[in-house]
Amino acid sequence: MSRTLFNRPKLLLADEPTGNLDYENSQTVLKYLREFVTNGGAVLLVTHDPVAAERADRTIQIRDGRIEGS
């Protein structure tokens, strides 16, 4: 992740960034993603993890090929 942030992008695309991590490391990754957003960046995160989804400002769910927003 640090190599990605080195160039100071405006948008991060994160596909299951916590998928293979234990709880503690997942929380660390989510903390860094939140800091990135707090500092003016945007994150588009794809996840099946409800804990990660709860940290989002906005969620969009796809069920049976249909978009459900909240």
pLDDT single digits (tens) 6-44: 668 999 999 999 999 999 999 999 999 999 999 999 999
Sign of CA dihedral 19, 17, 62, 69: positive
Q: Does residue 37 contact residue 43 with C-beta atoms inside 8 Å?
A: yes
Structural domains of the chain sorted by starting position, each given as residue range(s) with its CATH number in brackets:
2-69 (3.40.50.300)
Does 47 score more than 90 pLDDT? yes
3: region left, alpha or beta (phi > 0 left; psi from -120 to 50 alpha): alpha
The pTM for the full model equals 0.81
- What is the per-residue pLDDT for 68? 83
Question: For the chain, how many residues are written?
Answer: 70
**3-state secondary structure at position 26:** helix
- What is the per-residue pLDDT for 21? 94
